[in-house]
C-alpha cells in the first residue's frame, strides 16, 4: 500500500493519497502521518494542541492549589477563634462543626485537595492509571461539593435579606469581620461555578447521585436534632420559630431545594461540555 501524502492543513495532495484532517479531533495518529520539515521536525501547528492542553492542565492545577490554600487558611483561621470568649460562646453545644457553613468549608477543602492531587498524578502517571481518583473527584463534586456550596450561598442570603436575625444576628458583626462572612457565604459559589466551567465532570446516574445527597442531608439533620435534644438549643435561630410540623416541612423543602441544585449542576455540565461526560445507559 502506498503511503498517503498530505498537503498543508490536511488538504488533498494530487501526488498521493487523500485524507481530510480538518474537523478531526486532534490525535496522535494525525501527527504521526504529518510530513516533517527539512530539519526532520514536526510543524509548530501540529504541536500547538498539545502545548495548549499542557498549558490548560497547568493552569487548572495552579487554580486548584490556590483555592485549596484559601480553604485551608479559612479552616485554620476559624479553628483558632475558640480562644476568644465571645466567639467561644457561639461555638458552645456542638462546636463550630454544628454549622453547615463550616462543614461546607471543610468539604470544599477536601474536594480541592482531591482535585489538586488528581491534577498532579495525571501528569505523572497518566489518565488511565488514576481512573479511580478521577471518578471519586467527580462523585464528590457533583453530589456534594457543588450542591452544598450553592445551597449554603442561596439559603443564607435569602434568609439574611428576609430577616438576618434568623440566621446571622447583627451582634455577630462585631465578632466576625465582614470579609470572613463573605468568605464563608459568598465566594463559595463563584469557586464552584468556575470548577463547572473549567473542566467536565462525569455525573452519576440520578438515582445514585440523589441518594448520596439524601444521605448527607439526613446525617446533618440527625446531628441538628441530636444537639437540640442534648442541649435544648437550636443550631440556627430560625428553627426555634418553627413547630414540629414546620420543621419537617422545612427539612423536606431543604432537600428538595438541594436536589434541584444537583439537577441544575448536571444541566450546566451538559450545557458546557455536551454528552461526552454523561453516564452511559446499561444494555438490556
Q: Return per-residue pLDDT of the chain as tens, 284 residues.
A: 444 444 444 444 444 444 443 333 433 334 444 444 444 544 444 444 668 777 888 889 999 999 999 999 999 998 887 556 666 677 777 778 889 999 999 999 999 999 999 999 888 887 777 889 999 999 999 999 999 999 999 999 999 999 998 889 888 888 888 999 999 999 999 999 999 999 899 999 999 999 999 999 999 999 999 999 988 889 998 999 999 999 999 999 999 999 999 999 999 999 998 865 555 444 44
The number of angstroms, rounded, from the C-alpha of 7 to the middle of its chain's C-alpha atoms is 44
The residue behind cell 483555592 is: 67
Burial of 131 (0-12, 13-18, 19+ CB in 10 A): exposed
Q: Helix or strand or coil: residue 123? A: helix
Residue 17 is predicted with a pLDDT of: 46
Residue 222 is predicted with a pLDDT of: 95
Distance between CA atoms of residues 85 and 90, nearest Å:
9
Side-chain half-sphere exposure of 242, counting CA atoms within 13 A: 14
Distance between CA atoms of residues 138 and 62, nearest Å:
19
Residue 78 is predicted with a pLDDT of: 86
The residue behind cell 423536606 is: 252
Burial of 190 (0-12, 13-18, 19+ CB in 10 A): exposed
Strands (E), 139-255: none
Distances (CA, A) of 254 to 50, 139, 191: 45, 21, 22
The CA-based angle 62-179-148, given to 5 degrees, is 65
Residue 44 is predicted with a pLDDT of: 41
Burial of 129 (0-12, 13-18, 19+ CB in 10 A): exposed
With the CA atoms of 32, 35, 38 and 39 taken in that order, what torsion angle do they form, in degrees rounded to the nearest 10? -10
Residue 86 is predicted with a pLDDT of: 65
pTM (two decimals): 0.78
Amino acid at each position: 500500500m502506498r503511503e498517503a501524502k498530505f498537503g498543508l492543513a490536511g488538504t488533498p495532495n494530487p501526488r498521493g493519497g487523500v485524507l481530510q484532517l480538518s474537523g478531526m479531533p486532534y490525535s496522535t495518529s494525525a501527527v504521526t502521518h504529518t510530513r516533517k520539515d527539512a530539519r526532520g521536525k514536526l510543524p509548530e501547528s501540529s504541536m500547538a494542541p498539545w502545548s495548549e492542553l499542557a498549558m490548560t492542565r497547568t493552569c487548572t492545577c495552579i487554580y486548584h492549589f490556590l483555592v485549596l490554600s484559601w480553604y485551608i487558611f479559612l479552616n485554620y483561621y476559624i479553628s483558632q477563634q475558640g480562644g476568644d470568649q465571645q466567639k467561644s460562646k457561639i461555638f458552645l453545644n456542638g462546636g463550630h462543626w454544628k454549622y453547615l457553613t463550616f462543614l461546607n468549608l471543610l468539604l470544599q477543602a477536601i474536594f480541592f485537595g482531591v482535585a489538586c492531587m488528581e491534577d498532579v498524578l495525571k501528569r505523572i502517571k497518566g489518565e488511565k492509571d488514576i481512573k479511580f481518583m478521577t471518578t471519586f473527584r467527580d462523585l464528590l463534586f457533583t453530589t456534594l461539593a457543588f450542591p452544598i456550596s450553592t445551597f449554603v450561598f442561596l439559603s443564607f442570603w435569602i434568609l439574611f435579606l428576609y430577616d438576618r436575625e434568623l440566621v446571622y444576628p447583627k451582634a455577630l458583626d462585631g465578632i466576625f469581620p465582614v470579609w470572613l462572612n463573605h468568605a464563608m457565604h459568598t465566594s463559595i459559589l463563584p469557586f464552584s461555578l468556575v470548577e463547572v466551567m473549567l473542566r467536565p465532570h462525569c455525573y452519576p446516574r440520578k438515582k445514585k447521585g440523589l441518594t448520596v445527597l439524601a444521605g448527607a442531608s439526613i446525617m446533618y439533620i440527625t446531628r441538628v436534632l441530636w444537639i437540640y435534644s442534648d442541649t435544648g438549643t437550636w443550631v440556627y435561630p430560625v428553627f426555634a420559630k418553627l413547630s414540629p410540623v414546620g420543621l419537617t416541612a422545612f427539612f423536606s423543602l431543604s432537600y428538595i431545594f438541594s436536589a434541584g441544585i444537583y439537577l441544575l449542576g448536571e444541566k450546566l455540565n451538559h450545557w458546557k461540555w455536551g454528552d461526552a461526560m454523561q453516564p452511559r445507559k446499561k444494555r438490556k
